[in-house]
A and B are shown apart, each in its own frame.
Chain A
Amino acid sequence: MQLALTILMDGLIYASWLFVVALGLTLVFGVLKILNIAHGSLYAIGAYVAASMVTLFASWGLGGHFALIAMLLAAIGVALVMGPLMERYLLRLFYGRDEVVLLLVTYALFLILEDAVKLIWGVNPYYVSEPYQLFGNVAFASLFYVGYDFALIGLAVVCGIAVWFALNRTRSGKVVLAVIFSREMSASMGVNVDKVHMIAFTLGIFLAALGGAFTAPMISVQPGISVSVIIVSFAVIIIGGLGSIEGAAIGAVIVGLARAAAVHLMPEAELFSIYLVMAAVLIFRPEGLFQRAAARKI
């Protein structure tokens, strides 16, 4: 029982981190039909900017919980600068081209951003571990967890509910859904599709940067952190169904639990467990768990 609770908690903590990043990825795919490989770089940039912001706030005497505000502002800043810039001046030039071309464009962007990060921040690591201690320790199932990990679960829940509510319960959200279902029909009904694209892309980047910003206190922020997150995020949204928010949530929980169970019960199968689950889902649901099969448009 204690082991089951530990697996559950470890799985949920891992899933919450993964969900925030995968949510942005699936949102961008849902609206723009782009598999954005550069999403991982924006996660890394979010971590770097957060590290810089927290340090800056601390130099102003704004430590403690102000660090959380610094991290949030970092994610907002990254999204507002990078989102419009990337969508309007790069991706928009390739709309209508083959999806593979867009995939290659985002891959090229990923490589460029990796080097840009090194040019700006160098290769030395940045540490902002102080926020990680803000919530103390919590005893659960005979183990000590860091309170910050539970805060991350809360952050993921808030992000998921906010995006779901915005899409399903607001007028603007319904417009975005309309674009997701049919951009041509939406355009013909007077929807400014370009604007929807830019907003959705910026929101997606915000979520990537938010994931990076709130991960920064747990790691040494240094080159290379973008790669692992993007690979496992792709697994999550493929399991859940490309473009599905509910799918991203369920996919993240499945991956998190599968990984946690593997680490505790069969560590040598840790990596394999994620892709085993993905393969199993795809055998029975080739479109992913929450993706409806769509009629091909001619």
Chain B
Amino acid sequence: MSSPPVPSIGLRRLAGRMLAAAAALTIGLAASSAQAQETFRVGIVTFLSGPAAESFGVPARHGAEFLIEQLNRGAAPAPYNQVGFGGMRIEPIIVDENGGATKQVQELRNLYQRENVDAVVGYISSGDCLAVAPVAEELKKFLILFDCGTPRIFEDASYRYVFRTSAHATQDNVALARYMRARNINAGTFSMINQDYAWGQDSRSDFVAAMQQLYPQATANADLLPKFGAGQYGTEISALARANSNVIYSSLWGGDLQAFILQGAPRGVFQRSQLVLSAADHVLQPLGERMPNGTIIGARGAYGLMSADTPLNRWFFDGYSQARGGVYPVQAAYRVTQALLGLKAAVEKAMAANGGKKPTPEQLADALRGLEWDSPGGLIQMKLGNGHQAIQTMAIGRTRWDAARRQVVIEDIQRFAAECVNPPANMRSQDWIKAGFPGAKCDTPGN
């Protein structure tokens, strides 16, 4: 049996091929090494001081730090297990949001022009969001608003470079009204106390409109608008007590909400009226047994104690709690996490389309527009504002102090599908509510 003929290659040709292969390998390794060392700089703007720090700003910072550390180690679960953003190490630059909208505009310019960040993820205050969005657009730089609630951002303007990866305040108030209606809560009369700025006023308008639809016979009594950071609510509590409504609604948050509860509970107003709070999950741990039992609360999403039991959520909830000495994550930590996961998904989508290069702001914007991704708080869908505004699952529940566990627990949780409590893409929130929620899809429970 003869051996098959071996192709004869000249020694010189062989040496040439080996040299070419070695050169290609060297170049390939160098390129791979360059990508491994390349970083993606993210400006993260959150309250590190001031009254919003404790409840929102610092939990958001902790959430971002936890997630970025996990992503940079490639330790996050699939589909987020690629190191950093598309192999690029994430380098956060954290900036304090305190100081007012004018300062934030300047800080945003600094982040883009001096710190050369590739993207900014930030802003808790609705006032700050309204101020910085046009600036990012003017500079043609990529911006994700991760927390602020006013619906006006994408309802009053349209942007190419600006996105919001969490739902706006409309769903909080529509879900609250739906929750009460589903349980036949007596809400023949209701009173309200909200802060006198964009968040408080927009929340109030949405709640009133939702109540008019679901409780058409209900009448509003006291309608209070104390200033942000008032601290003293004795007079407001007297006004609420005098009104003696069936329901007291509030979008107060942070230290203001805690002071309101501490001053109102001893005067018995929350025993005579059903307290309904649109964004209160973050005060449950600090207030503990001071939190009135039976309060109906929202968390601006299906977050924390109201989140769904998914592998991704278990990883985040347990990992964050462990890193923070037993303090579990609340809404702001969830929202910054879903923003950064959305950014990761957009970066990697853009890189897949551009041959693996770091994406430009335009490529990032194209990638994030209309995107959907999983987060610890559920599926995030960029369905409103021409694909720039997210909708997500919403949850409402009732508080109860669990003496054995020494913590407030949330019971009777109802989850609402995103499209049950958010307007369709072609309608403004107020118009949608006033028209009786046309197109709302409430048959499927939230995931």
Q: Hey, which bits of chain A sit against chain B, CB under 8 A?
A: 3, 6, 9-11, 13-14, 17, 114-115, 118, 123-125, 127, 129, 132-133, 137, 142-146, 149, 215, 218-220, 222-225, 227-229, 259-260, 263-264, 267-268, 270-271
B231 touches A229 (CB 8 A): yes
B58 touches A14 (CB 8 A): no
Residues of B within 8 A of A125 (CB): 54, 255, 258, 286
Would you list 30 pairs from A and B whose C-beta atoms are within 8 A, ordered by A residue?
A3-B242, A9-B238, A13-B235, A14-B232, A118-B49, A123-B49, A123-B54, A124-B54, A127-B286, A137-B268, A142-B242, A143-B241, A145-B238, A146-B266, A215-B231, A218-B259, A218-B262, A219-B262, A220-B287, A223-B54, A224-B49, A224-B50, A224-B52, A228-B229, A228-B231, A264-B238, A264-B242, A267-B222, A267-B225, A268-B196
Q: How far is the CB of B285 from chain A (nearest CB, A)?
A: 10
Shortest Cβ-Cβ A-B pairs, 9 listed? A224-B51, A220-B258, A10-B235, A219-B259, A263-B235, A267-B224, A123-B53, A224-B50, A123-B54
Residues of B within 8 A of A149 (CB): 234
Bound Cα distance A114, B99 (Å): 13
Residues of B within 8 A of A215 (CB): 231-232
B227 touches A271 (CB 8 A): yes
In the complex, what residue of chain B is closest to A132 when comparing beta carbons?
A: B266
| Most-contacted residue by chain B among A133, A149, A224, A268 (CB, 10 A) | A224
Bound Cα distance A142, B258 (Å): 25
Is B180 an interface position by the 8 A CB rule? no
Bound Cα distance A264, B223 (Å): 10
Q: How far is the CB of B390 from chain A (nearest CB, A)?
A: 28
A260 touches B54 (CB 8 A): no
Q: Which of A9, A127, A263 contacts B290 (CB 8 A)?
A: A127
A13 touches B234 (CB 8 A): yes
Residues of B within 8 A of A259 (CB): 235
Supposing A129-B262, A219-B259 touch, asked if A263 and B236 sit within 8 A by C-beta, the answer is yes
Residues of A within 8 A of B370 (CB): none
Bound Cα distance A125, B59 (Å): 13
Supposing A222-B51, A225-B231, A264-B235 touch, asked if A144 and B267 sit within 8 A by C-beta, the answer is yes
B231 touches A133 (CB 8 A): no
A228 touches B230 (CB 8 A): yes
B235 touches A132 (CB 8 A): no
Q: Which of B49, B57, B242, B262 contacts A143 (CB 8 A)?
A: B242
Q: How far is the CB of B257 from chain A (nearest CB, A)?
A: 9
Residues of B within 8 A of A124 (CB): 54, 286
Bound Cα distance A114, B225 (Å): 27
Supposing A3-B242, A263-B239 touch, asked if A222 and B266 sit within 8 A by C-beta, the answer is no
Is B407 an interface position by the 8 A CB rule? no
Supposing A127-B290, A137-B266 touch, asked if A219 and B51 sit within 8 A by C-beta, the answer is no
Bound Cα distance A215, B286 (Å): 18
Supposing A10-B238, A123-B49, A260-B235 touch, asked if A137 and B259 sit within 8 A by C-beta, the answer is no
Is B92 an interface position by the 8 A CB rule? no
**Interface of B, helix, strand, loop or mixed by DSSP:** helix
CB-defined interface of B118-145 with A at 8 Å, one 1/0 digit per residue? 0000000000000000000000000000
Residues of B within 8 A of A13 (CB): 234-235
Residues of A within 8 A of B293 (CB): none
Bound Cα distance A197, B286 (Å): 42
Q: How far is the CB of B65 from chain A (nearest CB, A)?
A: 15
Bound Cα distance A95, B125 (Å): 40
A146 touches B267 (CB 8 A): yes
Is B263 an interface position by the 8 A CB rule? yes
A143-B242, A219-B258, A270-B196 given; 13 more Cβ-contact pairs under 8 Å: A10-B238, A13-B234, A114-B49, A125-B258, A132-B266, A137-B267, A146-B263, A224-B49, A224-B229, A228-B230, A263-B236, A264-B239, A267-B223
Q: How far is the CB of A143 from chain B (nearest CB, A)?
A: 5
For chain B, residues 260 to 313, give those with C-beta under 8 angstroms from any C-beta of chain A.
Answer: 262-263, 266-268, 286-287, 290
Residues of A within 8 A of B361 (CB): none
Residues of A within 8 A of B319 (CB): none
Q: How far is the CB of B39 from chain A (nearest CB, A)?
A: 29
Bound Cα distance A186, B433 (Å): 71
In the complex, what residue of chain A is closest to B257 when comparing beta carbons?
A: A220
B262 touches A132 (CB 8 A): yes
Bound Cα distance A142, B267 (Å): 12
CB-defined interface of B231-259 with A at 8 Å, one 1/0 digit per residue? 11011101101100000000000010011
